[in-house]
Amino acid sequence: MTGPDPGARSRTRARVIAIAAAQVLVSVGLLVALGAAWGWGPFADALTSLPWWALLGGALLGGLGVVLQGLRARVVARHHGIPLTTRSAVARCWQSAFLNGVLPGGVGGDLVRALDDSSDHEAPAARQALTSSVRAVAAERLVGTTIVFAAAGVVLLPLAPLVAVAALAVALAAAVLSRRWLRGLGGREVARITALSLLGWATFVAMFVLAAIAVAPRFPPAELPGLAAVALGGMSVPLGVGGWGPREAAAGWVFETSGHPASLGLAVSIAYGLLALVSTVPGAVVLAVRTWPRLRAVRAARERRARA
């Protein structure tokens, strides 16, 4: 029986690094292109226009969104045989939100969450537990994706029908995939998951509205939820780091399509990104609290081996 191939591991590591680097380049390249096209003023406006109340409001809204996601994740996890408590579900979702916000691709945190959930799974085999946990996390996230792209598609129907159809097609595909891994759920659980998803989406729409009020206080407030829906759709495209780049492109485009300066959409989207990033800071604390004991244990084991 042969051991793991060092060459294969090296090639896998190289591919992961290459993909991560490409994702970073997507975000940086898009932001540079948008700055060149629409000006660099929106970047400065976003950085200097966020008062303390906007940061506090963003943190509260982001926290509420994570709690709602945790409640949704708990329902789905229990359906897959993972007896998650509300506390564990919320903590893992907060950690996941932080990692998704700072790692390329926007799904690294979800992979870590699936690994954590597999340790609580009731399945006797580790591989079966991990497979079921990945499906649970994927199903839970796909429900949210369905809501995000469906809302964006509805908003875009009168503005850009072809783009709207594409968004609705993504929503339909996400719904079909999520339903595949949610078979057997009762109507009550499905209604609960849907309600939690809608409320979670609404919290991030509210955060976008808050960013717009801070950056452009005279902007017509009635238009902001629809514009936010499209920006959130752009952010959900799994390219770049933390949604940076695709979100700003979508926001600038939909602002311009709606008769407003694209630069204003860019500024609001950047402000939203900053608020969203601030709201995930508790996830960094969760990550540190959970990781530090493991690092100490590894260090102690190495010291024992060195003394042996």
Residue whose C-alpha is closest to residue 93's, from 115, 78, 110, 107: 110
Model confidence pLDDT, tens digit, residues 246-295: 999 999 999 999 999 999 999 999 999 999 999 999 999 998 988 877 76
Residue whose C-alpha is closest to residue 171's, from 240, 232, 91, 102: 232
Mean pLDDT across the stretch 105-123? Answer: 78
C-alpha distance from residue 135 to each of 128, 154, 166, 223, 286 (Å): 11, 28, 25, 37, 24
pLDDT band at residue 298 using 50, 70 and 90 as cut-offs: low
pLDDT of 3 over the 60 cut: no
- Which residues lie across from 104 on neighbouring strands? 241
Within a 13 Å sphere around the CA of 49, how many CA atoms are in the beta-carbon half?
Answer: 21
pLDDT of 109 over the 70 cut: yes
pLDDT band at residue 1 using 50, 70 and 90 as cut-offs: very low
Write down the pTM of the prediction. Answer: 0.89
Given a contact cutoff of 8 angstroms between Cβ atoms, the answer to whether 100 and 276 are in contact is: no
pLDDT for the residue numbered 184: 82
Report the alpha-carbon distance of residue 290 to residue 119 in Å, rounded.
Answer: 14
Report the alpha-carbon distance of residue 148 to residue 155 in Å, rounded.
Answer: 11
pLDDT for the residue numbered 282: 93
Mean pLDDT across the stretch 138-143? Answer: 92
Model confidence pLDDT, tens digit, residues 156-196: 999 999 999 999 999 999 999 998 888 888 889 999 999 99
pLDDT band at residue 304 using 50, 70 and 90 as cut-offs: low
Q: Domain extents for the chain?
A: 9-307
Mean pLDDT across the stretch 101-130? Answer: 78
Model confidence pLDDT, tens digit, residues 183-237: 888 889 999 999 999 999 999 999 999 999 999 999 999 999 999 999 999 999 8
Report the alpha-carbon distance of residue 238 to residue 19 in Å, rounded.
Answer: 12
pLDDT of 65 over the 90 cut: yes
Model confidence pLDDT, tens digit, residues 16-39: 788 888 989 999 999 999 999 999
Higher-confidence residue: 115 or 302? Answer: 115
DSSP state string for the chain? -----HHHHHHHHHHHHHHHHHHHHHHHHHHHHHHHHH-SHHHHHHHHS--HHHHHHHHHHHHHHHHHHHHHHHHHHHHTT----HHHHHHHHHHHHHHHHHSBTS-HHHHHHHHHHHTT---SSHHHHHHHHHHHHHHHHHHHHHHHHHHHHHHHTTT-HHHHHHHHHHHHHHHHHHHHTSTT--HHHHHHHHHHHHHHHHHHHHHHHHHHHHH-TTS-GGGHHHHHHHHHHHHTSS-SBTTBTHHHHHHHHHHHHTTS-HHHHHHHHHHHHHHHHHHTHHHHHHHHHHHHHHHHHHHHHHHHHHH-
Report the alpha-carbon distance of residue 113 to residue 127 in Å, rounded.
Answer: 15
Mean pLDDT across the stretch 54-71? Answer: 96
